[in-house]
Structure 1
Amino acid sequence: MLSRTLLCLAVASASMPLLADTVWLKNGDKLSGKITVFDGGKLLIQTDYAGAIPIDWKQVKTLESDQQLLVKQDAYTGEKAKALQAAEDGKVTLANGDAPKTVELASIQQILKPKPVVEDLVWKGNIDAALDYQRAEKDTDDYDVDFKTSARHGRWRHTAEGEYNREFQDDVVSADNWRLEYSLDRFITDKWFWQGRLNYKRDKVEDLARQRVVGTGPGYQFWDDELGAFSLGSLLNRTDYEYRDGGTDNFYSVAMKWDYNRYLIGKRVEFFTNGEVGKPLSGVADYAYDAEMGLRYKVTDWASLNLKAEKDVIEGTEDSDLSKTRYTAGFGVTW
């Protein structure tokens, strides 16, 4: 009796379909795993035996998946498919209950995992480190570490970021500064949110020794999905400057803040830029600009190489203007 029961269980298990996606190639090969994303002509499939494999979309004959996926045939709209079913060569069927739809693979621009605008809990971030040693007429040692992380729960989003930079020239400190920022967003609708922000910068070398900013204002989230995110925010800020000679300035300003990142080439490469440009409402300065832009290349699922350019400008102050540009290359982790 026991042996008969075990035999029935074995037969039932063998007859159950494996919950794995399958991609058939034009050369006759077949890959099984989990489809992650299709973008930029590359289909990314995660496998247990070889990690993430990018596949040239032109080499795909058909595919199937048990996942719910968003299939986009243009840049703006998409169709949620409960599953993908294999079809004839060069096509795939979008399974949607009683109304399946077969489309040409060539007509598909993107395949993404549908991501609700409001997640119960989403946590992501990165830490980048860069070291630069130069031995020439002037010996230079440069150390830079920065991080950014965000957590979203319901209609609330918390974002924290910071950076530390220290540079020596011939054993003399030529740069020593750090900054911290925290922002809290409350989503009013799926796209519109209200933001509160705190920012503090400390510089032990430049004439402008301390900057403190408290701001609030509305923002708009254009998108936030598997391929990246883009948001704009407008802020009314209260800013305090403290100079090394003891002088101080405080004023109100209006500012525009942006945060953009985009994954390319099957999520192997990430382009990112974020920053803020502000205009004081009094004559204490003409404008302030603080931004960064760069690329990350994923070596593994969690490790990356990065190139980054940073610009920090304050123009039109009575005591001392600020203009700094930095270029770094380093190693980082992403989650």
Structure 2
Amino acid sequence: MLSRILLCFAVLSASTPLFADTVWLKNGDRLTGKIKVFDGGKLLIQTDYAGSIPVDWKQVQTLESDQELLVKQDAYTGEKAKSLQAAEPGKVTLANGEAPKTVDLASIQQIIKPKPVIEDLVWKGNVDVALDYKRAEKDTNDYDIDFNTTARHERWRHTAKGEYNREFQNNVVTTDNWSAEYDLDRFLTEQWFWQGRLTYKRDKIEDLSRQRTVGTGPGYQFWDNELGAFSLGSLLNRTDYEYSDGGKDNFYSLAMKWNYNRYLVGKTVEFFTNGELGKPLAGPADYSLDAEMGLRYKVTEWASLNLKAERDIISGGSDSDLSKTRYTAGFGVTW
């Protein structure tokens, strides 16, 4: 008798997913898995049979989940539900002990997992590493490390990024530079924001040894969700240059920034590009460009492979032109 009970329990466990969330669609289909997030009109559900599946929110009839989730009916405030329960078509019930609340699906703008301290914190980023060893007439060792992380809560968004490059040829250092940037955005509406930015660049090889930039200006967020993001920003900058011979320059400039990424093939492949194009109001440069573009392939939930192309230009006449292009391939960590 005991063996039969254990056999039935094993069969039941294998055929019934534990703690599976369920999404019912208007066409009669049903998806089971784990709800990851709802944002930007897309509900992302992680399944064992097809990976991450984005679902158009307008096609959802109702849903249920045993997870504790933060449900936001406007851009900045939300209600933490201990679970979600299926309701009549077009609605869902937020279960909170003795006071369940049924709301229209159309009124929900975001569903996320609440964080321990800041419940609505959305934190994402990546660290990429590229190593290149070449043994020929000139032995070359090339190292490239960069990171990019964003944290958003309520009307604030913090972005930090940095990069380090170092290259040897026959044990002689031919490239040695690093950069760091911090951006603080305050959203005025769901799309419009005001940005403040600090940037520092250090190069121990090139004639232009130090760059410091402070900027501020408005920006517009076209979208920012689990499937990608796209924003444009305009900045009024104050830039200081220091050269290896001790010379200094400073000037004001206008700049346009862009930041775009898009996930493809069920969030397995990511295409991204970001950069800044600046035009000095008066100063030593005609224009400057700092841009990168690449692909990132997720091997696991956290590990990735990447291909990138970077282009840096400071144009100010034949004697002061600085142009660099780098192509890298490497591995990284994403979250």
Normalising by structure 2, report the TM-score. 0.72
Alpha-carbon distance in structure 2 between the residues aligned to 1:119 and 1:231: 24
Pairwise CA distance, 1:120: 2.8
SS at match of 1:136: coil
- The aligned residue for residue 225 of structure 2 is 225
User: Contact between 2:287 and 2:314, CA under 8 Å: does it hold in 1?
Assistant: yes
Listed as ranges, the matches of 1:1-335 within 5 Å are: 20-21=20-21, 32-36=32-36, 45-47=45-47, 50=48, 53=51, 65-66=63-64, 95=91, 120-317=120-317, 320-335=320-335
Post-superposition Cα deviations, 1:281-324, rounded to whole Å, max 9, x if no partner, equal 01421100001111111111111111111000000158522100
What secondary structure does 1:120 align onto? coil
Question: 8 Å contact 2:129–2:330 — kept in the other structure?
Answer: yes
Asked whether the equivalents of residues 61 and 90 of structure 2 are also in contact (C-alpha less than 8 Å), the reply is no
In structure 2, do the counterparts of structure 1 residues 124 and 147 end up closer, same or farther at CA, with 3 Å as the change threshold? same
> Are the counterparts in 1 of residues 35 and 46 from structure 2 also a CA contact under 8 Å?
yes
Specify the alignment match of 2:80 in structure 1.
Answer: none
Report what 1:109 is aligned to: none
Following superposition, the deviation at residue 187 of structure 1 comes to 0.9
**Contact 1:21–1:64 (CA<8 Å) still a contact in 2?**
no
Residues of 2 paired with 1:99 and 1:195: CA distance? Answer: 35
In 2, the alpha carbon distance for the partners of 1:126 and 1:144 equals: 14
CA RMSD, Structure 1 to Structure 2 (Å)? 3.6
Equivalent position SS for 2:64: coil
Aligned residue identity for 2:286: D
CA–CA distance in structure 1, aligned partners of residues 334 and 123 of structure 2: 11
Q: Following TM superposition, by how much is the alpha carbon of 1:65 offset from its aligned partner in structure 2, in angstroms?
A: 4.0
Q: Give the superposition deviation at 1:122.
A: 1.5
Quickly say closer, same or farther: Cα 1:56–1:151, change in 2 above 3 A: closer
Q: Is the 8 A contact 2:132 2:143 kept in 1?
A: yes
Equivalent position amino acid for 2:266 in 1: G
> CA distance change for structure 1 residues 284 and 20 in 2, over 3 Å: closer, same or farther?
same
Q: How many residues align?
A: 276
Report the Cα distance in structure 2 between the residues aligned to 1:84 and 1:297, rounded to whole angstroms. 36
Distance, in Å, in 2 between the alignment partners of 1:123 and 1:310 is 25
Question: Which residue identity lines up with residue 242 of structure 1 in the other structure?
Answer: E
Residue 66 of structure 1: CA displacement?
Answer: 1.8
Does structure 2 conserve the Cα–Cα contact (< 8 Å) formed by 1:19 and 1:66?
no
Separation in 1, partners of 2:131, 2:306: 12
Shift of 1:229: 0.9
For residues 111 and 195 of structure 2, what CA distance do their matches in structure 1 show? Answer: 25
Q: C-alpha separation between the residues in 1 aligned to 2:234 and 2:331?
A: 32
Give 3-state SS (helix, strand or coil) of 2:290's partner.
strand
Q: Secondary structure at the match of 1:181?
A: strand
Q: Deviations over 1:51-103 (max 9, x none)?
A: 9726799xxxx9984269xxxxxxxxxxxxx8889xxxxxxx755699999xx
TM-score when scaled to structure 1?
Answer: 0.72
Q: How much does 1:121 deviate?
A: 1.4
CA offsets per residue over residues 215-238 of structure 1, 9 Å max, x none? 000011111111011111000000
Residues 305 and 220 of structure 1: is their aligned pair in 2 closer, same or farther, counting only changes over 3 Å? same
Q: Distance in 2 between matches of 1:35 and 1:313?
A: 44
What residue identity is the alignment partner of 1:311? R
User: Per-residue displacement from partner, 1:211-261 (whole Å, max 9, x unpaired)?
Assistant: 110000001111111101111100000011111111111100000001111
